[in-house]
Amino acid sequence: MEQLVALPVSGDAFLLRRSGRVILVDGGKSSVLLAGELAKYGVHHLDIVVCTHADYDHAGGLVDLLDRTAIEVGEFWLPGAWAESLPALLTTPAEVVDDLIQTLDEEGDYAQREVDPDELEQQMHLYASRRRNEYRDAEPLADRDDHNESFRSTRKQGEIEQWDAELPLDENAEKLAARAFRSGRSRIRYRVAKRRVSKPVAAFWLGLIDTAERIRRIAVQAMHHGVPVRWFDFGEFAKTLQASGGDAGFLIPLNAVELASPPPPPIGLSFLVRLTPVNEECLVFLSPSIDEWWREPSILFTGDSPLGNGNNYSVSWLQWPEDASRCVIATAPHHGSESNFAAYGHLDSAVNVLLWVRSGGTVKHPGSTYRMLDSASRICTNCPHAKKPRQAVEIQFPMHRWWRHLRTNGHICIC
């Protein structure tokens, strides 16, 4: 059965069955919830697991999925930006934590300010985005030949990946890493107790440590279970606005370049900048359908992306593949957040969105732009405004039938 499912896992996790293959895009907050939902749908093998970015409500469920279940995974598709931190996170995680704490101490009076958490997050995201853009602008284009074939770790007998050689594969190494992250959290809380750091600033820095630990755990899990990793880099896409890679006709990036090998760590970028989440760099993937009116719609996974850049993300970078159907089912960007309002206009100018699928978020979601869309084109896993409980959104694609015969199940959005 051809099927798209938004799993009710307190965050974003989308299961797609198509062309005899099964993919998972993001994993929500909890591997316990994710494992339970995948079991309900009889999932024993995932051909591809995509992580669009490292946020807790997208990546949290992936950190120990293979350790917790008997599910087999064919490939992990991960953000190239993670490679900025991974070598250090794998070998010397304590040094990453020390760098974050040192940066916090250098903030001085700013770290003691009682600021609105949302305002602080926005300021830090803008700072990290600006620094990352400056770094990219100063770097030459990567050798395009490196991108012509994807990075696949074939795992031939006796062959190990570049970072496997650096990773101590023993239980003690994992204990030391866990201790380093715990120590970092304790040191931040100590500074709060001594009133050297305000609670909002501390919460943001604790989030950076959580992000670092998630990235490390997902990478280590892939290595331990021998799962090939393919890297998709927004930074290389940003230089030319030309996406490439993926599996043609099945799943392709719209804002990333697939790299033949993970990019090297950037010299001169602090771990604060490397680990601060930047939503405009969230990976976007398309499962295209052939551009014929009787075929299935294309499926667009937007993650937390605004689908644009510039002031208020008003400049669209969206370039729709010529042979992909413009009849689309799209996931609501950033859980329908108003901060991503520009994405709706960008997509509407390029394609015909038949259905918006929204999942996850908080009581602040969805925003007004999402709620102004035709209610018949909105379906959700949960509804904070109407206080409806979480449930899966299921969309089935009957074989050899016109797309208007889609069968759906979920909360029809009326808020």
Per-residue pLDDT at 47: 98
Per-residue pLDDT at 363: 80
For residue 105, tell me if it sits in a domain.
Answer: yes
For residue 295, tell me if it sits in a domain.
Answer: no
The count of structural domains within the chain is 1
pLDDT at 149 over 70: no
Give the mean model confidence (pLDDT) for residues 158-178. Answer: 65
Q: Are 288 and 294 in contact (CB under 8 A)?
A: no
Q: Are 379 and 358 in contact (CB under 8 A)?
A: yes
Cα–Cα dist 292/251, whole Å: 18
pLDDT at 38 over 90: yes
pLDDT band at 216 (very low <50, low <70, confident <90, very high): very high
pLDDT at 306 over 50: yes
Q: Are 251 and 287 in contact (CB under 8 A)?
A: yes
pLDDT band at 412 (very low <50, low <70, confident <90, very high): confident
For residue 154, tell me if it sits in a domain.
Answer: no
pLDDT band at 154 (very low <50, low <70, confident <90, very high): very low
pLDDT at 59 over 90: yes
Cα distances from 289 to residues 14, 235, 254, in angstroms, run 18, 27, 15
**Domain region containing 185:** 88-140+168-218
Cα–Cα dist 246/324, whole Å: 15
- Tell me the percentage of the chain whose pLDDT exceeds 90: 71
User: What average pLDDT is seen over the chain?
Assistant: 88
Per-residue pLDDT at 168: 58
Hey, CA dihedral for 307, 309, 313, 316, is it positive or negative? negative
Task: Say how many residues make up the chain.
Answer: 415
Give the mean model confidence (pLDDT) for residues 332-347. Answer: 94
For residue 185, tell me if it sits in a domain.
Answer: yes
For residue 189, tell me if it sits in a domain.
Answer: yes
pLDDT band at 409 (very low <50, low <70, confident <90, very high): confident
Partners of 23 in the β-ladder: 16, 48
Tell me the whole-structure pTM to 2 decimals: 0.92
For residue 92, tell me if it sits in a domain.
Answer: yes
Per-residue pLDDT at 163: 54
Cα–Cα dist 278/331, whole Å: 19
Give the mean model confidence (pLDDT) for residues 30-43. Answer: 96
pLDDT at 170 over 80: no
245-294 confidence digits (pLDDT tens):
999 999 999 999 999 888 788 888 999 999 998 999 999 999 999 756 55
The 3-class secondary structure across 17-84, one letter per residue, is EECCEEEEECCCCCHHHHHHHHHHCCCCEEEEEECCCCCHHHHHHHCCHHHHCCCEEEEEEEEHHHHH
pLDDT at 160 over 50: no
For residue 230, tell me if it sits in a domain.
Answer: no
Give the mean model confidence (pLDDT) for residues 39-65. Answer: 97
pLDDT at 140 over 70: no
The 3-class secondary structure across the chain, one letter per residue, is CEEEEECCCCCCCEEEEECCEEEEECCCCCHHHHHHHHHHCCCCEEEEEECCCCCHHHHHHHCCHHHHCCCEEEEEEEEHHHHHCHHHHHHCHHHHHHHHHHHHHHCHHHHHCCCCHHHHHHHHHHHHHHHHHHHHHHCCCCCHHHHCCCCCCCCCCCCCCCCCCCCCCCHHHHHHHHHHHHHHHHHHHHHHHCCCCCHHHHHHHHHHHHHHHHHHHHHHHHHHCCCCEEEEEHHHHHHHCCCECCECCCEEECCCEEECCCCCCCCCCCHHHHHCCCHHHCCCEEECCECCCCCCCEEEECCCCCCEECHHHCEECCCCCCCECCEEEEECHHHHCHHHCHHHHHHHCCCEEEEEEECCCCCCCCCHHHHCCCHHHEEECCECCCCECCCCEEEEECCCCCHHHCEEECEECCC
pLDDT band at 382 (very low <50, low <70, confident <90, very high): confident
Per-residue pLDDT at 151: 42
For residue 117, tell me if it sits in a domain.
Answer: yes
pLDDT at 295 over 80: no
Give the mean model confidence (pLDDT) for residues 137-144. Answer: 61
Give the mean model confidence (pLDDT) for residues 336-350. Answer: 94
